[in-house]
Structure 1
Amino acid sequence: MSSSNSVTVQILDKEYSIICPQEERSNLVSAARYLDGKMREIRSSGKVIGADRIAVMAALNITHDLLHRQERPDVQASGSTREQVRDLLERVDLALSNDQEQPKG
């Protein structure tokens, strides 16, 4: 795979290299920054320990916010937004699983 299709994002002090079409790079970087912010909020609360648990809690919080917005008639999200969120969550899951498979140094 070509590194030109790859974008590196940093989430909770770890770097993830994610394959992404050129036209989606800015969206991916924005999503990563948003996720990083949410994960840092959760970590700083001190109630959740461990990157995996923090990631799951952040995903649940973000999903809850998205679904709550969809229920409000004045702020309806399109089906494509739901697909984009699902795609981004899959990418995060893949990056986390790849990170866990790599030997720790």
Structure 2
Amino acid sequence: MNNARSVTVKLLDKEYTISCPDGAEAELLASADYLNQKMREIRNSGKIVGLERIAVMAALNMSHDLLKNKEEQRQNVESHLRRITHKIDRALSDLDKDT
């Protein structure tokens, strides 16, 4: 059973202590660094003020990107499956012609 550890992350110069399972610290820190980068981009744009609003906007942008990537991945898988199905159908058709 994994034990939880406390890890301190910094988002827009504010520190947060987060509990995470042993061995997941690097992933948590990488995630926090990515979030911090996105929050800084939003803050630096000057269009949104306030830590909470910046965090919400960063979360919405990241969620949008995730959903868009999932949809693109789904479409790629479907495209590959259609190509494979077409090749199988063609191969089976060729076998029928040979028999």
Query: TM (normalized to structure 1)?
Result: 0.65
Identity across aligned pairs (percent)? 57
Say whether 1:48 aligns with 2:48.
yes
Letter paired with 2:24? E
Structure 1: distance between partners of 2:51 and 2:19:
22
Letter paired with 1:42? I
* Structure number, greater radius of gyration: 2
Who is 1:71 aligned against?
71
Who is 2:17 aligned against?
17
Structure 1: distance between partners of 2:24 and 2:68:
25
> Structure 2: which 5+ residue stretches go unaligned?
78-99
Deviation of residue 48 (structure 1)?
0.2
Structure 2: distance between partners of 1:23 and 1:70:
27
Letter paired with 1:9? V
What is the number of equivalent residue pairs in this alignment? 72
Deviation of residue 34 (structure 1)?
0.2
Deviation of residue 22 (structure 1)?
1.5
After superposition, the C-alpha distances for 1:7-43 in whole angstroms (9 at most, x for unaligned) are 0000110000011112111110000000000000000
1:23 is paired with a residue of what secondary structure? coil
1:19 is paired with a residue of what secondary structure? strand
- For the aligned residue pairs, the C-alpha RMSD in angstroms reads 1.4
1:15 is paired with a residue of what secondary structure? strand
> Structure 1: which 5+ residue stretches go unaligned?
76-105
* Relative contact order, higher structure (CA 8 A, sep 6+): 1
Query: TM (normalized to structure 2)?
Result: 0.69
Give runs of ≥4 in structure 1 deviating > 6 Å: none
